[in-house]
Amino acid sequence: MSSTSSSQMVQLVADKHVRYILMAEKKKESFESVVMDHLRMNGAYWGLTTLDLLDKLGCVSEEEVISWLMTCQHESGGFAGNTGHDPHILYTLSAVQILALFDKINILDIGKVSSYVAKLQNEDGSFSGDMWGEIDTRFSYIAICCLSILKCLDKINVEKAVKYIVSCKNLDGGFGCTPGAESHAGQIFCCVGALAITGSLHHVDKDSLGWWLCERQLKAGGLNGRPEKLADVCYSWWVLSSLIMIDRVHWIDKAKLVKFILDCQDLDNGGISDRPEDAVDIFHTYFGVAGLSLLEYPGVKVIDPAYALPVDVVNRIIFTK
């Protein structure tokens, strides 16, 4: 990405996004916020990771975040989306990732959390989201990513987990949520990420998948998640990180994608939306900034495509006991 810019080229308004995230945290009683109450743990992960990518994690009170986070832990070891809600693997990963950002994984009873996740593995290698049994390759990725961060991958049957993921591979080279389900960029990210973390990328047909993924780029430069759908900033993450993990990112036009993401910013109030002129939210703000990180946009820290955490955080995890 060249550093020369014409007066017409939009830039990343990082400070506005930081302010947007910090303000959103305070607007807890808006309708939009109340409706998302149950997934506050995910929202916190999206907001905090974005802040860290923009090197502004210090703007939040670590103590406040962590003390709230711990109220979300269930006696089973799993974490809920918010205080009082039921535990689920989705929020357990976000909780672990947030603690990783603050370098505070050590406050966890790692045995308890990892057992909660490991017990969700089924006989065929798949993972359920919680005790109610929904199966989806999203949960395979979450379990593998979470246990890898906690250094407890040996608590699950990795071989069977990989076998199940491979059984979800489709004839177009992509992956779905269960065997037979159609390819979708989000599921592809989850499956490719899980295979990357377990050293099993040789199962991926990189050329077929790479082609299916690069075909997600539309004329305006944005990416969609499946054929015939509209472009959406969140696919700048799901598609892009997948392409990077299979060494095919040069198959898309990076400059055009950068322009699409920048055009989705609310230049006045901060935040990024799914597509230009739509309402902004934390979810798309995170994926827009994360996408720009993968595209090596200046001023944004490098993010790991498999762990979805800044690389310095991942290095800290890998290189300490």
Partner 1 sequence: MHGRGRNEASKPEETAAKALELRSLQSQFMSNHHQKIYTQEAIQLSAKLLGINPDAYTAWNYRKLALVSRINDDSDPSLVNSIIDEELGVVKKALDRNPKSYEAWYHRNWVLSKKGRYYTSLENELQLLNDYQKQQLVNDYQKQDDRKHDNLRNFHAWNYRRFVVELTETSAEDELQYTNMINDICFSIYSVWHYRSVLVSSLVAKKADGFMPKETIRRELDYVHNAIFTDEVKQSGWFYYLWLLDQTVKMETPLRFSSWPSDGSIITTFCSEFGSFPLILYFDQAVSGVSSSTVTIDSELNGKEDLVWEPVSDNKNSQVDSCVWVARLKFDSREPCFSRKEYKVKVSLGGIFSSRGCNLTAPYEFVFTVLNTVGESSQQGIVSWTDGFDNWDDAQSKYLNSLIALNADTGFE
Q: Which amino acid is at 218?
A: L
Is position 232 annotated in a ligand binding site?
yes
Closest CB to partner 1 among residues 49, 148: 49
Is position 270 annotated in a ligand binding site?
no
Residue for token pair 């959406």: 232
CB of 70 to partner 1, least distance (A): 18
Instruction: Report the residue from 1, 15, 23, 30 that binds partner 1 according to the rule CB under 8 A.
Output: 30
Closest CB to partner 1 among residues 63, 277: 277
> Which of 54-62, 147-155, 174-182, 311-319 is the region at the interface with partner 1 (rule: CB under 8 A)?
174-182
Is position 203 annotated in a ligand binding site?
no
CA 63 to chain centre: 24
> Which of 76-84, 96-104, 191-199, 245-253 is the region at the interface with partner 1 (rule: CB under 8 A)?
76-84
When computed from its CA atoms, the radius of gyration of the chain, rounded to whole angstroms, is 19
Is position 111 annotated in a ligand binding site?
no
Q: How many CB atoms lie within 10 A of CB 34?
A: 10
What separation in angstroms does the CA of 35 have from each of 40, 64, 84, 147, 270?
10, 22, 15, 30, 21
Q: Is residue 180 a contact residue for partner 1 (CB under 8 A)?
A: yes
CB of 298 to partner 1, least distance (A): 27
Q: How many CA atoms lie within 13 A of 189 on its CB side?
A: 19
List the structure tokens of 7: 């007066």
Q: Is residue 226 a contact residue for partner 1 (CB under 8 A)?
A: yes
Phi, psi (5° rounding) for residue 87? -75, 155
Q: How many CB atoms lie within 10 A of CB 299?
A: 12
Collect all residues with Cβ–Cβ distance below 8 Å to 180 and sequence separation of at least 6.
none
Binding-site positions for geranylgeranyl diphosphate read 184-186, 226-229, 235-238
Q: Interface with partner 1 by CB under 8 A: which residues?
A: 29-31, 33-35, 37-39, 80-81, 84-86, 88, 130, 132-134, 136, 170-172, 176-178, 180-184, 212, 215, 226-229, 232, 266, 273-274, 277-281, 283-284
